[in-house]
Amino acid sequence: MSYSGWMNYHAHIDKGFLVPPRKYIDAPAPERAAWTREAKKQMTIFEIKESATNALEKMYQYGTTYVRTHVDVDPLFELRAVEALIELKEEWKDRLVLDIVAFNQEGFDRFPETEYMLKEALQLGVDGIGGHTSMDKDAKEHIDTVLNLAESSNVDWIEFHTDETGRVDDFNLPYLAQVTKDRGLKEKVTAIHCCSLTNVDDDTAKRTIEAVADSGMTVTTCPTAIATRSLTRVKEFAKAGVTIQLGSDNLRDFFNPLGSGNMLQYAQLLGYVSRFYEADEINQLISWIQNSPDNPRVQEQLAGLSLNLQYDGKTNVELLAEAPAPRFVQPVK
């Protein structure tokens, strides 16, 4: 079978592929977050590029032609990671499309100056802006601030790590769906993770899924999150007509020491966790790592980057059963 390239809709390649002496130690999460903050303070543009390049090489080796990465913007990294990734975007443009989302990982409460720094990042020419609904005391205010910044600059993507904790008292997806609809932002807005949705009662979940579908926003799930919490109600979202995307999320950093960048492995993990076992279900799952973004700029950039990815096996079921590397990756002439 042959395929033209895989889509990785969510990653953090600015702080992955830790370079020694930094290494993963399985300490409590707040400690690992503190190490990440320390690393971000120290990392130079050169080091950030080195880490991100390692991630891109892996992804490309497995046939990925579209990568959307969040890039932290805060007083620790300042704008170094954005500058590093903008350079890489240019260096990799003949192999893959690298979309950069300037991301508020640390919250406005901890670092209020992030709002001003995000404005600067938008002026440097990123493709999107990202927030995190669990980082600030007032999640609604956080969402509104990020949306206001986004609308002042006309970016392609507005993405939120949404209800990542999985806690029912941390459930902001209904508000995000509401404001997406009110502002008419549709597929520009992506909710990543949506873990709390799995833990709220079924009626609330149903109403929320309908609101998400009605708003036109997209949902990205990152199957490796299963290590620490439930994934979202992905089958119910799909059934309601919501566009689903998959991402690798963290790769070989202080949060997760594993990660190949092989999108078939992430799809296989979701297949296990959410029981995509029948052929139709597996075809649908494969389509989520195959479908390119509904965006003319990206479509045009991707048009020249098609690969000829060859795999043994005759069906998507066989492909997902093994999640192999392609026999070879070669650009279509």
Minimum CB separation from Zn ion for residue 164, in Å? 8
Residue nearest to Zn ion (CB): 249
The count of chain residues that interact with Zn ion, using the rule CB under 5 A, is: 1
Q: Which is nearer to Zn ion, 131 or 271 (CB)?
A: 131
The alpha carbon torsion through 229, 233, 238, 240 (nearest 10 deg) reads: -150
Specify the 3-state DSSP secondary structure of 92. coil
Q: Which is nearer to Zn ion, 134 or 243 (CB)?
A: 134
Minimum CB separation from Zn ion for residue 302, in Å? 23
Minimum CB separation from Zn ion for residue 314, in Å? 35
| Interface characters, 238-257, with Zn ion (x: CB under 5 A) | -----------x--------
Minimum CB separation from Zn ion for residue 127, in Å? 16
Strand partners, 193: 162
Q: Which is nearer to Zn ion, 256 or 262 (CB)?
A: 256
Q: Which is nearer to Zn ion, 127 or 249 (CB)?
A: 249
Q: Which is nearer to Zn ion, 49 or 70 (CB)?
A: 70
Strand partners, 218: 190
Burial of 26 (0-12, 13-18, 19+ CB in 10 A): exposed
CA 171, distance to chain mean position in Å, is: 19
DSSP string covering 37-61, please? HHHHHH--HHHHHHHHHHHHHHHHH
Cα first-last separation, the chain: 18
Q: Which is nearer to Zn ion, 253 or 281 (CB)?
A: 253
Question: In whole angstroms, what is the distance from residue 165 CA to residue 274 CA?
Answer: 19
Minimum CB separation from Zn ion for residue 328, in Å? 31
Minimum CB separation from Zn ion for residue 296, in Å? 26
| Interface characters, 195-234, with Zn ion (x: CB under 5 A) | ----------------------------------------
Alpha helices in 65-190 (DSSP H): 80-91, 114-124, 139-151, 173-183
Residues of this chain that interact with Zn ion (CB under 5 A) are 249
